[in-house]
Amino acid sequence: MRAGKCDDIGLGGGGGRNSGRGRGRRSAGYRHSRFSRRVLPAGSPPRRKRTANSGPPGAFPAGRRRKIRERGVRSVLCLPMMVEDKLVGALKMGRMTPNAFTDEERKIARGLADHLAIALRQAKLWGAVKQQREQLEERVQERTAELEAANATLKEEIEERTRAEQALRESEERLSRIIDSAIDAIISVTADLEITLFNDAAEQVFQCGADEATCRSLRPMLTESFEALVERHIQAHRNGATGGASDSYSDGQYLTAPEGLEARRADGEPFPVEATLCPVELPDEDQYLLILRDLNELKAAEEEVSQLQSERDYLEEEIKTERNFDEIVGASPPMQNVFTAIEQVADTDATVLITGETGTGTEPVARALHDRSERAEQVFVKVNCAALSSDLIESELFGHERGAFTGATEQREGRFERADGGSLLLDEIGELPLDTQARLLRVLQHQEFERVGGSDALTVDTRILAATNRDLEAEVDAGRFRSDLFYRLNIFPIELPPLCERKSDIPLLAEHFCTLFCQRTSTTVTSISDDAMAALKAYDWPGNVRELGNIIERTVILTRDDEIRPEHLSIAGEASSPRSNGFLTLAEAQREHIERALEATDGVVGGDDGAAQLLDLKRTTLLSRMDRLGIDPEDYRP
């Protein structure tokens, strides 16, 4: 890269064409133009024709030349700046004298022009590079912005996908928990009966782990008829899906067979089941959910529910028939003897016979025996032998098998089985028929019995507590009670005194019942007056503690005062002052009249031969008056 040949241009004035230091000089390889003192390279092509104002190539225009001359410039050295044979500019130098540039100066000027050409080229190149860099940076910024936007979009898509995957995982976990917590066996299979899902209930039903069952065939777990039924339903669903038909096979199907369905456990044992088959459409292939329920377990659960229902009914019955005794109250010597006997025998398994008049509290004593024994945490079962018909009493005590008698549609446990491990109170045991007494004796001796209609001997561990208001010795003499059973029951007798023999306990009992019924009825009776207490002590109490409790309850409900006075008590005339006129009070007369009717009917209240018929009253009306007067029909039954 170098500058081309230079032109030494004379500007006229001060010397003419031949004036100046370079006059007459000729350099080899150069020729003069006829128009100017201009040196051209040898062999240069002819120059284009110039106009009057143009001057030689690289020269100044005429007007500019004139201005330059006016400034005193007489010589101008014009050097073209060439880079790679391309003209990039021209270096022009002027002096005040004509032909002032020597060859050495021209050489120096040419070097300078070459450097300037290179510098100018580099400047242009640097400008181009700068422009390219700016364009590149602009494109980089645009691309960076595009990448950032794409990255933000991608990040948002990734976050959305992550959220969707998390939601899917949570949904799968919830579904898995639901399936695993289901009480029915749930098995997912392909159309070829290959197992893909086996829940916890299926593991229990088939006695096979999910790891062992998954990816294996379901066929070994089904009987042939069950397998054929499942395959038939799957094929029917696939045919419907292929044909585009919408039929019932798109929904779950309850599988049935005339002979019933049976599956097989892992050890090959068959068991009855009920099943539902439901198709599940998936992107890759259809699968089928087989939901199974073990009918043996269902039957056992139903029996357990039935037993619990029976126990609930029994407990509700107990609650309904619960008497007004929350505890045994008494400080009299006769009651202290009773307490001592309870403490002596409670922690043994000895059979206890509790005797006493109606209303003396045989059941609270039986409960006290149970609560103070090692069986206190077990069940306490009571059965009133007098309330059961002779046809059903054995079934009630010992249970029955299905079909044992008309109406026995299912197996039922008796009271002895329910009381297994606990205590059984046989209340009013003197009312048992003789044939039932014989079976009871066997249970007492061997703790073994059979259900009605059954042949399998059942063994129980039940403590027997018996209670009666009858004189069992007299019943034995009369032939109405087995002597061997009496002796078996009479191992440890506890006799409860009537209330008339422990009148010192009446204040304690009255206060106890008053507090109890005030709490139950939300009333505000706070005390019993001395006159009222004296009236209570003066009364005979043929109904014993039960009658006292009934009268106090009625008084608490009816009184509107804070204190119970004699006029609030609805007891017979024995509690009031003696009457000198010889007339009975209305309550006394009613009581006497009702008692005579009960004596005549042997304690029967309703029916054609009952006391209500004799008195020309409705049965409910008579029962209400008897309750108000504290009359118990049990006292008049033989």
Indicate if 493 and 512 belong to the same structural domain: no
Q: CA nearest 359: which of 536, 496, 472, 513?
A: 496
Task: Kindly give, in sequence order, each residue whose CB lies less than 8 Å from that of residue 323, ignoring residues fewer than 6 positions away.
Answer: 363, 364, 546, 549
Tokens of 243: 């044909």
- What pLDDT was estimated at residue 596? 84
In contact, 210 and 266? CB cutoff 8 Å: no
Q: In this structure, is residue 317 part of a structural domain?
A: no
Q: Identify whether residues 364 and 434 lie together within a single domain.
A: yes
- pLDDT of amino acid 304: 79
- Which CATH number do you get for residue 60? 3.30.450
Q: Nearest-5° angle of CA 565, CA 566, CA 568?
A: 70
400 plus 442 within the same structural domain: yes
**445 and 427 in contact (C-beta within 8 Å)?**
no
Report the CATH number that the domain containing residue 284 is assigned in CATH.
3.30.450.20
The answer to whether residues 367 and 491 belong to one domain is yes
Q: Which domain holds residue 535?
A: 506-636
Last residue of a domain, one of 80, 105, 125: 125
Total tally of structural domains belonging to the chain: 4
Of 473, 497, 521, which marks where a domain is finished?
497
Quote the tokens at residue 31: 């020729």
User: What's the rounded Cα separation, in Å, for the pair 469 and 359?
Assistant: 9
Which of the residues in the chain have pLDDT under 50?
Answer: 1-3, 12-55, 57-58, 243-247, 319-326, 573-580
Same domain for 113 and 252, yes or no, is no
pLDDT of residue 258: 65
* Confidence at residue 235, expressed as pLDDT on a 0 to 100 scale: 86
| Distances from the Cα of 49 to the Cα of 35, 41, 55, angstroms | 11, 18, 10
HSE-CB of 295 using CA atoms within 13 angstroms: 11
pLDDT of residue 466: 94
* Distance (Å, whole) CA 64 – CA 56: 13
- 1 in a domain, yes or no? no
* Residue 490 and residue 360 share a domain: yes
Identify whether 321 is part of a domain: no
Q: What is the pLDDT of residue 583?
A: 60
Residue 192 resides in a domain: yes
Domain match, 490 and 413 both: yes
490 shares its domain with 512? no
166 belongs to a structural domain: no
Residues 435 and 539 in one domain: no
Residues 448 and 417 in one domain: yes
Last residue of a domain, one of 299, 318, 345: 299
The CATH number of whichever domain residue 575 belongs to comes to 1.10.8.60
Residue 253 lies in a domain: yes
CATH of the domain at 377: 3.40.50.300
Q: Both 290 and 191 in a single domain?
A: yes
Q: Is there a domain that residue 259 lies in? A: yes
Residue 489, Cβ density class (10 Å: 0-12 exposed, 13-18 middle, ≥19 buried): buried
Residues of the chain above pLDDT 70, percent: 81
Residue 146 lies in a domain: no
Same domain, yes or no, for 443 and 370? yes
Dihedral sign for Cα atoms in the order 157, 160, 166, 169: negative
CA distance 11 to 109: 19
